[in-house]
Amino acid sequence: MSSDSPGDVDAPLVAGIDVATATVRVEVRDASGALAAAASVPLPRPVRGPDGASEQDAGSWWPAVRAALGECTTKLGRRRRAVRALAIAATSGTVVAVDAAGEPVGPALMYDDRRAESEAAIAREAGARRWQRIGITPSAGSGLARIGWLAAHADDPKVRFLHTPDLIAEHLLGRPVATDTSHALKSGYDPVHAEWAQEALVPLGVDIDRLPDVVRPAQPLGRLSPAAAAETGLPVTCEVRSGMTDGCAGQLASGAVEPGRIVTVLGTTLVVKGVSTELVHDPTGAVYSHLHPEGTWLPGGASNTGGEALSDVDPERLAGLDRAAEERGPSRTVCYPLRRDGERFPFPAPQARGFLLEPAGDEIDLHRARLEGVAFCERLALDRMAELGVPATSPILTTGGGARSRLWCGIRASVLGRPIARVPRAGTALGAALLAATGTLHPDLSTAAHAMVPASERIDPIAEETGPLDRSYRRFLAALHEQGWLNT
């Protein structure tokens, strides 16, 4: 397990790059996971419009990555020569059109751009049989639909379509590169048959020669060009390795890399992801699977509940509310803390709305009810995963901002009836570093994770609360059935 202490000055290093919505973060780590250097550089805010548009200046990505890498290599001094490899993780479904030189011809469509409804409908119909086989349902939120939208609005019919890591890797290597199966999954790539879904892409006006080749994550893409080495301070011997989406990289950073391990990432949304030896088929489409770097599968889904349930509370007041709610004990009411229209997982229900079965007694009771409601969604998600053949070994791993609340972790453990292990500092950049370390500093991903992932803290169920919370969970399920949102 890792520690953030200085290592041998001559020890080999890897870099993980996280291109998030607001920032680029780079972490340089050694084979034990110790942090050797880190830097973050802001990105311009996406421009969002009432028509569902969400765009970002893709031309800002490379300068931000270059600056963050340069800051890290400056901090490393002569140790920069020991950086063996790097990998890039970014938001899922963000795509951009580029010219022959790899330069953006317009803004990127971000992961939350919703304008491509008609393109999504075309893709769903044209590739229906394939989507059923691989468990993916194209929507306006998929990269595939956005690529169709870009193709329809491009002035140049020869533009290529890239994901965020592809554009950055082209700058690092000085040539076009392959994308990874993780970023390509929702862009029309079939990981079962290792091919682009041509029957869905062609009706959208997208020839597959305008898309990159595809490889598994953690594969070598090439070594830095002399120009990129000079700009970043990295050695020309540094390899670029294929990455994964931010969600998948976060899963790896928790240590959930072997069959039976499940992680809950409690951020703005609630994400539950596991590892399975077989491809999971969910008829509802709520659970879908990424390809594991070593050939197994990473099934999971994302709920629209999560930390967003507390979005109307001043962050400075959360600790005080937690203390009061801990003293109070289980809420007297049952809450489904959905703050937007529609749910994706653990059940798909576009018409779903949040509810309180009874009015909360006061602000403390409401706070506690919201925390419990997210935990109920987590339990339902784990039950759904188990039904699909993805059992979970204890403890359940957890990361994300919400996992910093010990109260919330205790409530979740009590609702689940099993311990939770929260993993500190398990961010996307660490996950990208694990991919860079696979095949360079370590022989495989499991070995890299065991060596580099931080030690976890176990939080057990609260015995006196498990009974009351179980009764509230049963009321929660009954309410979902009554609304017609949960049919199993």
- The CA distance from 315 to 313, in Å, is 6
Each residue's pLDDT tens digit, 258-307: 999 999 989 888 999 999 999 998 888 889 999 999 999 999 998 989 99
What are the b/e assignments for 354-371, b being 16+ CB within 10 Å?
A: bbbeeebeeebbbbbbbb
Each residue's pLDDT tens digit, 226-264: 999 999 999 999 999 999 999 899 999 999 999 999 999
Each residue's pLDDT tens digit, 469-483: 999 999 999 999 999
Each residue's pLDDT tens digit, 403-425: 999 999 999 999 999 999 999 88
Instruction: State the pLDDT confidence band at 137, using cuts at 50, 70 and 90.
Output: confident
Sort residue 89 into left (φ over 0), alpha (ψ -120 to 50) or beta.
Answer: beta
The tokens describing 218, both together, are 């953690």
Sort residue 72 into left (φ over 0), alpha (ψ -120 to 50) or beta.
Answer: alpha
Residue 177 lies in a domain: yes
Q: How big is the CA angle at 187 (ends 59 and 268), to the nearest 5 degrees? A: 75
Question: Other C-beta atoms within 10 Å of 143: how many?
Answer: 24
Q: How big is the CA angle at 26 (ends 141 and 79), to the nearest 5 degrees? A: 155
Residue 362 lies in a domain: yes
Residue 404 lies in a domain: yes
CATH assignment of the domain containing 391: 3.30.420.40
Query: Within this chain, do residues 146 and 89 fall inside the same structural domain, yes or no?
Result: yes
> Largest Cα–Cα distance in the chain?
65
Question: Domain boundary at 209, 243, 277, which?
Answer: 243
- The CA distance from 451 to 466, in Å, is 35
Question: Domain boundary at 212, 243, 274, which?
Answer: 243
Query: Within this chain, do residues 205 and 339 fall inside the same structural domain, yes or no?
Result: no
Which residue range forms the structural domain that includes residue 410? 254-419+460-483
Which of helix, strand or coil describes residue 16?
strand
Residue 438 lies in a domain: no
Chain-centroid distance of CA 279 in Å reads: 19
Query: Within this chain, do residues 380 and 475 fall inside the same structural domain, yes or no?
Result: yes
- The CA distance from 142 to 279, in Å, is 20
